[in-house]
Amino acid sequence: MNDGLFLPTRGSAYAGEVDALYAFLVAVSLFFTFGICFFILFFAVRYRTGSKASRAPIAVRHIRLIEITWSVIPLLLAMVMFGWGAALFLRQQQPPEDALEVTVVGKQWMWSLQHPGGRREHNELHVPVGRAVKLRMISEDVIHSFYVPAFRVKQDVLPGRYTTLWFQPDRVGEHHLFCAEYCGTEHSLMIGKVIVREPGEFARWLARGSDEPPEIAGRKLFEQFRCHTCHTQGETARAPSLDGLFKKKTPLESGGFVVADEEYIRESILDPRAKVVAGFQPIMPTFEGQIGEQGILQIIAYIKSLSETDSQEAPPERDGEDTDDDG
Ligand code: CUA
């Protein structure tokens, strides 16, 4: 354990590294604080009224070596702080490829989370120990902030844009989860727990859920909103096929390309005319106000699944029903 004094319990290796940097910053600050205080007191006593210390004027000389020394040492200290902090920050910006991806929707005043298999939870996040976990987060209303002190990670959760956060718990236990951005009357109640379990126990917990997998829920929404009437295969389709679309570099009608990631798919649902795929007309209506953020995440999971398992099941847009309908 050996947790830092005055600091929350550490729940990940990263937490230890953040604490080490923090200890360095505190140590440097203390060194200079005490050094400066010492000399203030020392000179105050030495040159107090009536003391016999020499007050004879000394010719001011320019000593280059001293000038350089007291410039270079602070510069080096500052650069160490910068380099060390930047390295940690950059690592925190790059989740590992194989991370377990959980979606998080913040709203006044609770956290809704969904695991890849479908299991949902509120104000609690169950995760397996030793595995990197990546959160894809968005807000339904105002800015919130997902903060787990034990992992030393915090990330704003914004309306209208996905943000991510990742951590790798290295010990079993329970940690506090806070909203760290004032978001209204019940901000202080927007709290919860991160529950770290052994992988086996976590798997059993996951299996107890009966929630629909997000890609299935997404396919239902896709059918409910009749997206499949336009997003079909073939020459006459009025909208691009979504098979194999995810993360693909897609040419745009306005020129240039876009990588069809989560952000682009979300934008295309809410503001379909922003980036129209080359060869198509801007005829898709917006679904703003009709689908919640959770629903959009589920549709994204469905579109993602069309790229992962294209041979396993025929996607519904091949049905060909109602192809004359405007949807
Ligand atoms: Cu949500 Cu504060």
pLDDT in tens, 244-253: 788 888 888 8
DSSP-assigned letters across all residues of 61-109: ---HHHHHHHHHHHHHHHHHHHHHHHHHHHHHH---TTPEEEEEEEETT
Atom of ligand 1 nearest to the CA of 182: 2
Q: What is the pLDDT of residue 76?
A: 96
Q: How far is the CA of 138 from the centre of ligand 1 (A)?
A: 12
Token readout for 199 is 């992988």
Tell whether pTM > 0.95.
no
CA 205 – CA 69 distance, rounded (Å): 60
pLDDT digits over 257-267, tens only? 888 888 888 88
Q: Is 187 a pocket residue for ligand 1 (Cβ < 6 Å)?
A: yes
Q: How far is the CA of 41 from the centre of ligand 1 (A)?
A: 47
pLDDT at position 1 over 70: no
pLDDT at position 113 over 90: yes
Ligand 1: which residue has its CA nearest to atom 1?
144
Cα distance between the two ends of the chain = 59
Q: Is 121 a pocket residue for ligand 1 (Cβ < 6 Å)?
A: no
pLDDT band at residue 5 under the 50/70/90 scheme: low
Q: How far is the CA of 206 from the centre of ligand 1 (A)?
A: 27
Q: How far is the CA of 13 from the centre of ligand 1 (A)?
A: 27
CA 113 – CA 102 distance, rounded (Å): 7
Q: Which of 42-51, 54-63, 128-137, 151-160 has the lowest mean pLDDT?
A: 54-63
Q: What is the pLDDT of residue 3?
A: 60
Atom of ligand 1 nearest to the CA of 109: 1
State the average pLDDT for the chain. Answer: 86
pLDDT band at residue 150 under the 50/70/90 scheme: very high
Q: What is the pLDDT of residue 312?
A: 44
